[in-house]
Amino acid sequence: MEPITALFGIACLGAGGGVGYWLKQNHEKMQKLNDFNIVLQESQSAHFVHLNNQVADTNARLVALNGMVDALRATNPELDGALKAYSTITQLEQVGQLDESIDNIELFGNALTALETLVSPISVESEVGATNLLTQTSSNMVMRLIEIFDLHQMDVKSLGLKPVSAHKLGHATMSLRRYDWAETSFGIAYASSPGNANVLEALEFIAIERGDEPLRRHWLEARMTVNPDNPELLRAHAHLLAKMGDMEAERDVLRLEALGLDTPADRSLLSGLRARAGSHSEALEAIEQALAEDPSQAKDWLSYATLLYQEGETSKALDAVDKCLELDRQSGDGWALCATILAPKQNRLKEALKAAIHAVALDAGGVELVLLKADLLLADGQATAAEESLTKALDKDMMNGELRAKIATRYLLDGRPDEAQNLLDKTPVGIDHALLHVVEGRLHLVNADKTRDGTGETDATLLSVAIAAFEGALKLNRELGVAWLGLARTQRLLRNLDAAEEALTRARRLLPEDDSSAAAEAALLALDQGDITAAASLIDVADIHGDSSVITYVRGNIEARSGHLERALEYYGKTLKSDNTHIRARLNRCSIYMAMDEGRKALDDAEILLDLAPNFTLARFRKAEAEMMLGEWAQARDDLDIVLEKAPHHHQALTQLAACFIALERPERAETPLNEALRIAPEYAPAWHQRGLLYLEWGRNDNAMSDFEAAVKADPQHLDSRLHIAAMYHEAEHFDAAESAWRAVLQLDPDHIVAKTRLDECEVKLMA
């Protein structure tokens, strides 16, 4: 056998043996795997049996647990309501996201049920105003439900709650401070049971929280109908009526007294009520009785002191307020009354100042105490501190319109209008107080005094803004006397005397009797109406309440109108001595000096006026007239040019400018301003007279006579024009006309020597 064949056979035998061995090994593995599968099947079978047993146990436990939850929800409605509410809220919020309505879907009923369940633990006799009626969870759920109902424009009435549920919901929503829902809920309960004390108390509580006093009174009186002899209700009713200014409060206190349940505090209230009603003796008796029983009440001592002060018993009032302050050093009203009592006493200025400082520090006494403190500081020689106290008070209370207005008024009266205006300009946005409008109107009057030119046109423009300011004040407060007074003065300055009299009547009715300003204004109005006797009588009435610069100024006007120039100068001098910045008094004195041919003194006053008010056109005009009187024609012409630059319609200035041109030997320049003056004011007699003189200078006698006659027609009292007419007739030897003209002169001036002489000449000529 060949070797290759032998090797091949050996290889085949080896391969066959290997395959047989592999097959044997695989058979053994398959056998083991089969055995393992059998074991695994038996194990799984046992496991599934065990698992089935566990599932059965779990189901049994779940059934038991569900039973326990049902029992828990049944025995705990708050939890049941919270679960229902949570589920319902979730669904409602989903509806809300889809912008759907809940009016007609099943969720409405679920929400109502959830709400009723949540509030069901609350008792209908719960304490009114209690905040611990619901748990935090229930409170949150109720609030979320209410918010959802609000979102869908649903309220308590549309829910259809039963009265008991509404009563409970009222307590719940009241604890959540949803007073709109609470009031409606209790309203439903009230409609079902009007005599329920808990409901009535709850409704009163809501009125108190809202600050609605008339509504609180309604519900409080409803409670008193149910329980008329309850002392707490009677006491609360008395205090409420006293606060509202209803004198029926006294009946409640007397009922407490009849029941034998009144206290010193009740008698103190009764004293205050009687004092308010004007029965001071009865009020004093009641407060004295209260103090006799309980002298430890500081507020009673304060009431006693106030009553004594009103009765004029200042010494006893001071003792009583001292008792009040001994008991309560922090009684701001006590310190305020103490300062008010001590302020007039010159020898106790330091004590009054100390009391005022305490009162202001305790925010007592209001605006009047702030001003009193400043006055006392000023009286003590602390002018800077007084000014600072006002500034600090205003900085502390920036929104106090009354304080700002009264400080501005003080600046105005002190001759500091610019500071007053600055104070008004800095008024914060949102403040609208009637007194601020009054100050604004007064500032306009001051500005008008410093800028007017004496012509009606300019003055009307300046004063119209003052009228608007005073009318603005009256829109806010029709019973503000100072606003009516300001309106009366403005109307008088505009020569609307009937309107001024009507406004002044209102002012005098509203202002205190001791206010001299109204009587002074009435005197000025009477003077403008030509009734000097009434003016003198009215200023005498004003003088009773104390002398002032206003009173001496009015007296000066009365004397000037009566022709007593020396006495008028005396009164104007007194006015300017007490108030050097009094514009009208100085202007009037300037005019008096000119009437007395005191040109230099008139010029001095006019220059002082221009120093005080550089834009005062009327003062500039008076200065020019004084300069003309002194023969300073060129300077007068320059001043008149300034006047006409500001007021081209000033016919008086145009007339005087023409007189200056004539005096400066420039008559050709005089006719134009005279013609303009007569165009503006055809009834202005001095312009006709001045142009007549110009024509006379030019030899145009017929034109001159015509202008002199026009002057007399415009003003029958114009003496100079009548003199020129008579003289021209006399020189022309028209003695019959001259005689009538001279007689007309003597009717105006019976002692005129020239007229008498020439009249005699005319009579002689006519007889011849």
Average pLDDT over residues 374-402: 91
pLDDT of residue 74: 55
pLDDT in tens, 593-614: 999 999 999 999 999 999 999 9
Residue 488's CATH number: 1.25.40.10
Average pLDDT over residues 482-498: 93
CA 586 to chain centre: 36
Average pLDDT over residues 53-69: 58
Does 456 have pLDDT greater than 80?
no
Q: Is residue 532 part of a domain?
A: no
Q: Are 594 and 606 in contact (CB under 8 A)?
A: no
In this structure, the answer to whether residues 417 and 477 fall within a common structural domain is yes
pLDDT of residue 60: 56
| Structural domain that includes position 768 | 716-768
Q: DSSP per residue over 358-406, as a string?
A: HHHHTT-SHHHHHHHHHHHHHHTT-HHHHHHHHHHHHHHTTT-HHHHHH
- For residue 580 the two structure tokens come to 């050097």
501 or 306, which is more confident:
501
In this structure, the answer to whether residues 157 and 108 fall within a common structural domain is yes
In this structure, the answer to whether residues 84 and 203 fall within a common structural domain is yes
Range with lowest mean pLDDT among 15-24, 697-706, 748-757? 15-24
- Between the alpha carbon of residue 746 and those of residues 559, 649, 717, 750, the distances in Å are 25, 35, 11, 4
Average pLDDT over residues 40-68: 61
b/e code 208-239 from CB counts within 10 Å (16+ = b): beeeeeebbbebbebbbeeeeeebebbbbbbb
Does 269 have pLDDT greater than 50?
no
In this structure, the answer to whether residues 89 and 9 fall within a common structural domain is no
In the chain, DSSP finds a helix count (H) and a strand count (E) of: 40, 0
pLDDT of residue 39: 66
Question: If pLDDT is split at 50, 70 and 90, which confidence band does 273 have?
Answer: very low
List all residues 6 or more positions away from 63 whose beta carbon is below 8 Å from its beta carbon. Answer: none
CA 362 to chain centre: 23
In this structure, the answer to whether residues 65 and 127 fall within a common structural domain is no
Average pLDDT over residues 649-678: 93
Q: What are phi and psi of 130, to 5 degrees?
A: -65, 145
In this structure, the answer to whether residues 12 and 97 fall within a common structural domain is no
In this structure, the answer to whether residues 117 and 21 fall within a common structural domain is no
User: How far apart, in whole angstroms, are the C-alpha atoms of residue 585 and residue 569?
Assistant: 10
Any idea what DSSP says for residue 603?
A: H
pLDDT of residue 44: 67
User: How far apart, in whole angstroms, are the C-alpha atoms of residue 532 and residue 525?
Assistant: 10
Domains identified in the chain, total number: 4
How much of the chain exceeds pLDDT 70, in percent?
A: 79
In this structure, the answer to whether residues 55 and 125 fall within a common structural domain is no
Q: Is residue 615 part of a domain?
A: no
pLDDT of residue 131: 75
pLDDT of residue 104: 43
pLDDT of residue 246: 53
Taking only Cα atoms into account, the Rg of the chain, rounded to an integer number of angstroms, comes to 50
In this structure, the answer to whether residues 203 and 85 fall within a common structural domain is yes
Decide which of 17, 46, 69 is a domain's last residue. Answer: 69
Does 571 have pLDDT greater than 90?
yes
pLDDT in tens, 432-448: 899 999 999 999 999 88
pLDDT in tens, 322-358: 999 998 999 999 999 999 999 988 889 999 999 999 9
- For residue 768 the two structure tokens come to 């011849």
Helix then strand then coil, % of the chain, to nearest 5? 80, 0, 20
Question: If pLDDT is split at 50, 70 and 90, which confidence band does 64 have?
Answer: low
Does 564 have pLDDT greater than 80?
yes
Sign of CA dihedral 732, 734, 735, 741: negative
Does 622 have pLDDT greater than 90?
yes
Average pLDDT over residues 264-272: 49
Decide which of 142, 176, 210 is a domain's last residue. Answer: 210
Range with lowest mean pLDDT among 69-83, 299-313, 436-450? 69-83
In this structure, the answer to whether residues 104 and 195 fall within a common structural domain is yes
In this structure, the answer to whether residues 57 and 81 fall within a common structural domain is no
In this structure, the answer to whether residues 130 and 205 fall within a common structural domain is yes
Nearest partner of 705 among 723, 678, 684, judged by Cα:
723
pLDDT of residue 766: 85
Average pLDDT over residues 25-39: 72
pLDDT of residue 249: 54
Does 381 have pLDDT greater than 60?
yes
pLDDT of residue 179: 82
List all residues 6 or more positions away from 375 whose beta carbon is below 8 Å from its beta carbon. Answer: 343, 386
Average pLDDT over residues 144-169: 77
Q: Is residue 448 part of a domain?
A: yes
Q: Is residue 468 part of a domain?
A: yes
pLDDT of residue 98: 44
Question: If pLDDT is split at 50, 70 and 90, which confidence band does 133 have?
Answer: confident
pLDDT in tens, 170-208: 888 888 888 888 888 888 888 878 878 888 878 878 877
> Residue 144, exposed/middle/buried by CB under 10 A (0-12, 13-18, 19+)?
middle
Unique residue bearing structure tokens 């104070």: 423
214 or 228, which is more confident:
214
Q: What is the mean pLDDT of the chain?
A: 82
Q: Is residue 127 part of a domain?
A: yes
Decide which of 69, 99, 115 is a domain's last residue. Answer: 69
Range with lowest mean pLDDT among 98-107, 124-133, 485-494? 98-107
Does 66 have pLDDT greater than 60?
no
Q: Are 696 and 718 in contact (CB under 8 A)?
A: no
